[in-house]
Amino acid sequence: MAEVEHRLLEELKQRAGIRRQIVLPLRKSLSMCKSNIFVRLGRSIITASGIFLGIAFLSSVLVSSAVQAGVEEMIRRKGELVAQIGVAGGDVERVRLLWLVMMSLLVATIGIVNSMLMAVTERYKEIGTMKCLGALDSFIVRLFLIEAGLLGMLGAILGVLVGGGVMLLFQIARHGWEGIAQAQPIWGALPLWIALLLAIPLGGVLSVLAALYPAWRAAKMPPAAALRSEF
Amino acid sequence: MAEAKVEQQVMEPTVYEYIVRTKELEKVFVMGDTELKALAGVQLDVRRGEYISIMGPSGSGKSTLFNMIGGLDKPTRGTVFIDEVDMAQLDAFELAWLRCRKIGYIFQTFNLIPVMTALENVTLPMIFAGVSGEEALEKGMRLLNTVGLGDRYHHKPTELSGGQQQRVAIARALANDPAIILADEPTGNLDLRTGKEIINLLKRLNVERNVTVISATHDLKMIDVSDRVVWIRDGKIERVEHRKDIEVRVGIMEGEEEVPASSEQAVPAAKEETK
């Protein structure tokens, strides 16, 4: 009997590369994620707002840091006392700011982990159903990661615009146009606008990292358990 | 000569009489300190094209048995053979392949993907099977027409009634021309009349397409269309009856209390006029 089974398994395996026969085309993944994001708009906003806030804070810090450095430079060139202008002083201040930014990004990322865990739990039944239709575990992970990545990028774009924009306006009000024209590159090397642009994929990457654990957990559940879910 | 014979064996898949076979199937759920024996040694053989109903009171193990057969959960002991292939031997890919191509699932709660339209729901398994977009849409529409929902293909599940959602689920189950349809309480969330429509639809598909239907249910209306009825209680098969041995009188009322001891008592004598 074992021989019959073995032969049949081989037959099954031969009959046209099983692995290649189960597919989820990228375009379909993207359209599914897009639907998920827009139909569950409330949940999406909550998930994205974590990154939005973190990146907004990062952007505002980048802008203020660059502009302040520029103002300091201007003052140094004119030879006036730094203390009289009340500019934030030196390296200690910068390190403190860096630490603040990292903490806020960490909080944002953890917020996303929580948000994605909730999203995954709400969709256990959906996940179980998809597995019954033949979805591989990797499809489920893929769908959640793409969704998280998209939300992260969207939140980050908004974060850069709002956080960076508001701080920019504030600095213009404070130091005028020449003030920001003198804005120094971050850490002496990265021009401000590039740094702000990089904040966008940073948001995407953090989102994807945050979604890894929830997505993995979702994919690993056996269908019977997933389908028993109340949601 | 021997080579040619082996060639032929690989080329033409042999058709086995029993499409599903279980051997000494046991399932124990461990919850904290207690152990719950959901299945205590079940032996069931299902032939191709049969319409089998697994019936029993709540907690009898019929859903667990359903999950075992459908590969949704692993048994603690025993084996399930689908077309003589031991399910426990299959890896994740092969299992997914099986669920995609060979088995169609229908659930009590319909389980349609809420963000997708009816047509998208029906074509999802085809996408997993690598069917091209055009072909999938065409086939999807054909299936929706078969179940009578051709004009509602663009509606989302929230815009469909329970009966309509179940029809979409049935169309979806047929997406890749499976050999088996597994239905877990398909009429559980439906009213009397819609339930009957669904049962008749399933029977029609069973007859027309020769697809084996295995249904776990406690809806007595299912008895009429089944070839065999498997009565299960406390994780064991109590008895198996052929349709012709069961007397079914018009006016069945739904009930799930007593599993009748003999076939003559299968129907409480409520003479309600049903249409």
Torsion of CA B90, B96, B101, B106, to 10 degrees: 110
Partners of residue A36 in chain B, C-beta under 8 Å: 115
Q: Do B93 and A224 touch (CB under 8 A)?
A: no
pLDDT top residue among A15 and A160: A160
pLDDT at A34 over 90: no
Which percentage of chain A shows pLDDT scores above 70?
81
B192 three-state secondary structure: helix
pLDDT of residue B186: 92
> Would an 8 Å CB–CB cutoff place A26 in contact with chain B?
no
Torsion sign across C-alpha atoms A12, A16, A17, A20? negative
- Give the residue, B104 or A183, on which the prediction is more confident: B104
> pLDDT value at position B270?
41
Q: How many angstroms away from the CA of A121 is the closest CA of chain B?
A: 15
Cβ pair B115:A39 closer than 8 A: yes
Query: In sequence order, which residues have a C-beta less than 8 Å from that of residue A118 and are 6 or more positions away?
Result: A43
Q: Is A110 on the interface with B (CB under 8 A)?
A: no
pLDDT digits (tens, 9 = 90+) for A81-128: 554 444 445 667 778 877 888 888 888 888 888 888 888 888 888 888
Query: Rounded to a whole number, what is the distance in Å from the CA of B57 to chain A's nearest CA?
Result: 18
Q: Has residue A219 got a pLDDT over 90?
A: no
Q: Is the pLDDT of residue A54 over 70?
A: yes
pLDDT for B272 beyond 90? no
CA distances from B268 to B158, B243, B271 (A): 36, 17, 9
Residues of B with CB under 8 A from a CB of A: 9-10, 13, 67, 70, 72-74, 81, 83-86, 89-90, 92-94, 96-97, 99-101, 105, 107, 109, 111-116, 124-125, 127-130, 172, 175-176
ipTM of the complex: 0.78
- Contact between B128 and A12 using a beta-carbon 8 Å cutoff: no
Extended strands (E) in B127-235: 180-184, 212-217, 228-233
Fold entry, domain B15-247: Rossmann fold (3.40.50)
Tell me which of B10, B93, B126 to substitute to probe the interface with A (most A C-beta atoms closer than 10 Å): B93
Q: B71 to chain A, minimum CA–CA distance in Å?
A: 9
In this structure, are residues B73 and B62 in contact, taking their beta carbons and an 8 Å threshold? no
What is the count of residue pairs from A and B with beta carbons less than 8 Å apart? 108
Judged by CB atoms closer than 8 Å, whether chains meet at A227 and B97 is answered as no
Q: Check residue A71 and give its pLDDT.
A: 79
Query: Does the pLDDT at position A188 exceed 70?
Result: no
From A175's Cα to the closest Cα of chain B, the distance in A is 50
Q: Hey, are the CB atoms on B129 and A134 less than 8 Å from each other?
A: yes
pLDDT (mean) for B1-8: 46
Would you place residue B172 in the very low, low, confident or very high pLDDT band (cuts 50, 70, 90)?
Answer: very high
Probe site for chain A from B72, B85, B189 (most A CB atoms < 10 A): B72
Buried b (16+ CB within 10 A) or exposed e, B73-111: bebbebbbbbbbbbbeebeebbbbbbbbbbbbbbbbbbb
Tokens of A60: 């505002």
Say if the Cβ atoms of A132 and B99 lie within 8 Å. Answer: yes
Residue B250: pLDDT over 70: no
**Whole-number mean pLDDT of chain B?**
83
β partners of residue B17:
none
Phi first, then psi: what are they for A192, rounded to 5°? Answer: -55, -45
Q: What is the pLDDT of residues B63-82, one digit of tens each?
A: 888 888 888 888 898 999 98
Which chain B residues are closer than 8 Å to A5 by Cβ?
81, 84-86, 89
Most A CBs within 10 Å, among B10, B111, B134, to test the A interface: B111
The residue type found at A76 is R
Residue of B nearest to A26 (CA): B127
Interatomic CA distance for residues B114 and A128, integer angstroms: 14
**Which residue does chain A place closest to B69, by CA atoms?**
A224
Q: Do A125 and B97 touch (CB under 8 A)?
A: no
Extract the tokens encoding A221: 């559940």
Q: What is the CA radius of gyration of chain A?
A: 25
CB distance from A94 to chain B under 8 Å?
A: no
**Which residue of A lies nearest to B16 if distances are taken between CA atoms?**
A8
What are the sequence ranges of the domains in chain B?
A: 15-247
In chain A, residues with a C-beta closer than 8 Å to the C-beta of B157 are none
* pLDDT of residue B112 exceeding 90: yes
Q: Nearest to residue A126, comparing CAs of A33, A48, A45, A218?
A: A218
A14 interfacial to chain B (CB closer than 8 Å): yes
